[in-house]
Structure 1
């Protein structure tokens, strides 16, 4: 669904640019007048990311995280521009099925890894990680959370099916790695199992650890601009988030590791990416999607996969 939507947006944009350029040449416009609006259109992503960084800086307020310098935010913006352009311009619209799931891994296999993407994304978001994990023989499965615009708890069955697949293939509880909204979807998955009458301890044991990356556990200031159900749920201290927190135990929270950054341009203020009772890990100077490009985060995934039980 999302891949098709992104392809249509790209097609409409390309036709619009081609039509504009053709019309300008027929009218005899100069090169500057012709390419100026085109470059402005192509720069919309850069402008949006810069605006997000500006908003994050403006609402940092009394957040206990160190306030990033302007230079740090500019570097984070540049890396985010590159990574988001690749993800939304190629990987998610055209290559979301480029890397198949390998639930049994290769060689010794071992514990599997479930990858859960965030808002307005699909499994193509994880394309940079797939070949690296598969080269190491790691069993890996990812989901495409759809419909794109719905309540977050509606993704619970997709996550449950992926957990079952990895558990059956490896005989071990998977490590779950989530980006952004994906971390909330996994928390909502647990609540859905409890509402169905499952035992809390048994449900908790179905995951080894949950590593969240830039997840708005306490909501995010940016979500105030969203109008769809899952965006509304991610508003700061929303009733949905409060209900989710009330359903959780200390033992469940202890399975979480929360990677966050003071330069995050989507989940802010920074403390919003942390969870009471979970281990926080600060990766300074990284923007929202750019956190996945941090080598330390990938190394942490491998370490957690090999670690003992909680």
Structure 2
């Protein structure tokens, strides 16, 4: 569903920009197409006041995060997710040494992970990346999809996969563990990127049950199950999850990344390195 909505939104943006360009001049049309960059700039600027103390980002960090996020958001929201959702199918090769379940965030789909899926395929690492549905339903509803992915990968390798989640996906993983954790012998290795473990102020602007659940300090988010083996990557320049410290799950291994925004965490070298270390420790011959 999110892919359909994003195709509609992208085509609407283009139609408005073309109309403005035809009516008032093509320079104005280009400016109209780039309005999202101005909106993003306002979101980054406010972080100087939202994040305080050691988490307060400098203007140089915010500028660096902003222009990268403009490019990342166009690449993901205007291309990969609307048009390339199925470009990288799930990869389940016989004899795979390790596996990872990739869980996307709010208003996204599996196309978010296309770059990573291509790299994992080249390494021979098995992966499953579901598109969580319903798009604006309760996060609890995603637990069954996470469990199905975990079971598929566990049947292939003989042990639990690494779970890597972006944004709301980290909460979907915790909702899964609350529902299905008792059925698993050991907690999985989890890596979250910009996940609002304590909620986020920006959820007030979102639509649907899942956005309401992600509101800062909501009863739902504070009542979620903890997961023992977690690495949390967070950035003071996160324009979606703020205050920034809400991306840190108490008791987790917290990793700060500077100069990157919410989507930019996906291409932080430290995140990829953490995943590689987790996969290396999870590698095992398939059990017969």
TM (norm. structure 2) is 0.92
The whole-number CA distance in structure 2 between the counterparts of 1:3 and 1:268 is 26
Q: Cα–Cα, structure 1 residues 21 and 81, in superposed 2: closer, same or farther, change >3 Å?
A: closer
Q: Please name the residue that 1:101 is paired with.
A: 90
Task: Give the structure 2 partner of residue 30 of structure 1.
Answer: none
Contact 1:92 1:124 in 2 (8 A): yes
The match for 1:29 is: none
Aligned CA-pair RMSD: 1.8
User: Which residues of structure 2 form unaligned runs of 5+?
Assistant: 284-288
* Structure 1 segment 3-42 matched on structure 2, within 5 A: 3-22=3-22, 24=23, 33-42=24-33
Question: Which consecutive segments of 4 or more residues in structure 1 shift more than 4 A?
Answer: none
Q: Is the 8 A contact 2:19 2:29 kept in 1?
A: no
Rg larger for? 1
Task: Report the Cα distance in structure 1 between the residues aligned to 2:40 and 2:260, rounded to whole angstroms.
Answer: 13
Report Cα offsets for 1:98-123 as digits up to 9, x if no partner: 01111236xx5212000000011000
Comparing 156-165 and 38-47, the one that deviates more: 38-47
Q: How does 1:237-252 map to 2 (within 5 A)?
A: 237-244=217-224, 247-248=225-226, 252=227
Alignment of 1:108-119 (within 5 A): 108-119=95-106
SS of match in other structure, 1:277: coil
Q: 1:230 aligns with which of 186, 210, 216?
A: 210
2:286 match: none
Q: Check the 8 A contact 2:21/2:28 in 1, yes or no.
A: no
Count of aligned residue pairs for this structure pair: 283
Query: Could you tell me which residue of structure 2 aligns to residue 266 of structure 1?
Result: 240
Query: 2:194–2:241: 8 Å Cα contact kept in structure 1?
Result: yes
3-state DSSP of counterpart to 1:143? coil
- SS across alignment from 1:212: strand
The one of 122, 125, 139 aligned to 1:135 = 122
Matches within 5 A, 1:136-155: 136-155=123-142
My pick for the range that moved more, 72-81 or 50-59, is 50-59
Q: In 1, distance between residues paired with 2:124 and 2:207?
A: 41
Gaps of 5+ in 1: 25-32
TM-score w.r.t. length of structure 1: 0.86
Partner of 1:210: 190
CA distance in 2, matches of 1:20, 1:67: 39
